[in-house]
Structure 1
Amino acid sequence: MIDTDLLLEKGATYRHTEAGEIIFNEGAQATFYYQLVSGKVRWSHFDDNGKEVLHKIVEAGEAFGELPLFDGEPYGASAVADSPCTLLRLSTTSFHELLAEHPDIHLAFTKSMVSHLRFKVFLLNALAKNNPQTALVELIDYFNRHGKLICQDCNRLMVTRQQLANMVGLRVETVIRAIKQLQQEDKLCIVKGKVFVPADGV
């Protein structure tokens, strides 16, 4: 989202994480702006029983955990490295200075937050239909239309069945059954356990 050289000029530093490492916890105060250079990060809430509600999978080039930098409130979810990651982090003070110096970047963040909000509304509408297969079709189609979490070269879905379940609040067994049904309807293709999406959508 922000040019790497610009971040480094403002004092950003690199951080490397291992898969499963917690980058920040829900409820903590935000002290850095984070931007992912490589790898994937899960932005999730965990209930008292350890069940994960997956809000977003952050991909390389995207920012995460930025909302508290605008309202001063604690993190609403935790960030967990889904794979070995390299990220850039910039202090909150320097981040605010950067926004003041570059109104175009500030506007880009506004658009990004609107996009996140629209996705949440979309997901709520899909789940309100109370049909797991419909919810999955609409979610995968959303990924396809927005170029998210689907390999642009081979059309492979880049999330696991468990992650899909965590996104839509379903049991993984329900997601597996729904995916098999979609395969029988020729809406998805499964090869060696990997899910592939038709180029023209599900």
Structure 2
Amino acid sequence: MSDLKNISIFEGLSEEELSAIEALAVTRNYPKNSVIINEGDIANAMYMVSSGKVRVYVSDDQGKEFILNSMGPGEYFGELSLLDDEKRSASVITTEKSTFSIIYKDEFTKAIEANPNLAMAMLRNLASSVRQLTDNIKTLALQDVYGRIRKTLLNMAVEKGDIMVVEEKLTQQDIANRIGSSREMVARILKDLTVGGYILSERKQFQILKKLPESY
């Protein structure tokens, strides 16, 4: 059975279709802190995460970062490069040892031309990405810093018994980079939430102990 069945962009494709696409992919391993894509690079491939984790971010001329997303197994990036000839719109770095299946543009274009189901799968996933981007912009535009922190923690957390746990390790600076705020402001809010018994942070891993307040 093809490993690609766990990649959302290929959901709904038959085993035969998946096998044909898998034959186009090459496997690459990267150590932690490897820059896979640089913002502004010429784009020519799509990357699917087989194992490990990556961080997707943009930065300005002074090196200040804004984190767009974190990705793990079953997720993918670089798909826009398969549809146009524009340069990379973001950078991607591994946050732990990672393995990728890589499909280059020329090969993928041939697969789409031969498989209408794949083209429809691409459109569905692009629509989902646009919706998520719209939601992120809405959060940045309409919510205060606390609201952005609250939403970030809740979106990243998974239920474990009576509490919720953010499995990805996050520093205060990581959170600040995700929400477009200063580390100092993030630190103050997290401290207040900790004192209030709402959250607990151990080894950069956050636990949500009870329902977070709607406002700060």
**Residue type at the aligned position of 1:28:** D
* Residue 197 in structure 1 maps to residue 208 in structure 2: yes
Give the alignment partner of residue 90 of structure 1, picking from 103, 120, 125: 103
How many Å separate the matches in 2 of 1:195 and 1:63?
25
Cα contact 1:133–1:179 (8 A) shared by 2: no
Q: 1:86 to 1:50 in 2, by over 3 A?
A: same
**Residue type at the aligned position of 1:51:** K
* Residue 132 in structure 1 maps to residue 145 in structure 2: yes
**Residue type at the aligned position of 2:192:** Q
Give the alignment partner of residue 175 of structure 2, picking from 152, 164, 174: 164
How many Å separate the matches in 1 of 2:139 and 2:74?
28
Give the alignment partner of residue 22 of structure 1, picking from 35, 46, 50: 35
How many Å separate the matches in 1 of 2:122 and 2:209?
32
Q: Normalised by the size of structure 1, how large is the TM-score?
A: 0.82
Give the alignment partner of residue 191 of structure 2, picking from 155, 180, 194: 180
Larger Rg: 2
Q: What is the SS of the residue equivalent to 2:89?
A: coil
Give the alignment partner of residue 42 of structure 1, picking from 31, 50, 55: 55
Q: Where in structure 1 are there 5+ consecutive unaligned residues?
A: 145-149
Q: What is the SS of the residue equivalent to 2:55?
A: strand
Give the alignment partner of residue 8 of structure 1, picking from 15, 22, 35: 22
Cα contact 1:38–1:87 (8 A) shared by 2: yes
Cα contact 2:49–2:99 (8 A) shared by 1: yes
Q: Where in structure 2 are there 5+ consecutive unaligned residues?
A: 1-6
Q: Name the residue aligned to 2:3.
A: none
How many Å separate the matches in 2 of 1:197 and 1:100?
47
How many Å separate the matches in 1 of 2:64 and 2:138?
22
Q: Normalised by the size of structure 2, how large is the TM-score?
A: 0.78
How many Å separate the matches in 1 of 2:147 and 2:110?
45
Q: 1:89 to 1:133 in 2, by over 3 A?
A: same
Displacement of 1:199 in angstroms is 8.6
Cα contact 1:26–1:74 (8 A) shared by 2: yes
**Residue type at the aligned position of 1:117:** V
Q: What is the SS of the residue equivalent to 2:83?
A: helix
Displacement of 1:13 in angstroms is 1.0
**Residue type at the aligned position of 2:133:** K
Give CA deviations for 1:22-55 in whole Å, capped at 9, x if unaligned: 1121111212121111111111112111111111
Cα contact 2:44–2:81 (8 A) shared by 1: no
Aligned length: 196
**Residue type at the aligned position of 1:8:** E
Cα contact 1:123–1:139 (8 A) shared by 2: no
How many Å separate the matches in 1 of 2:118 and 2:212?
32
Q: Give the % identical residues.
A: 23
How many Å separate the matches in 2 of 1:193 and 1:82?
14
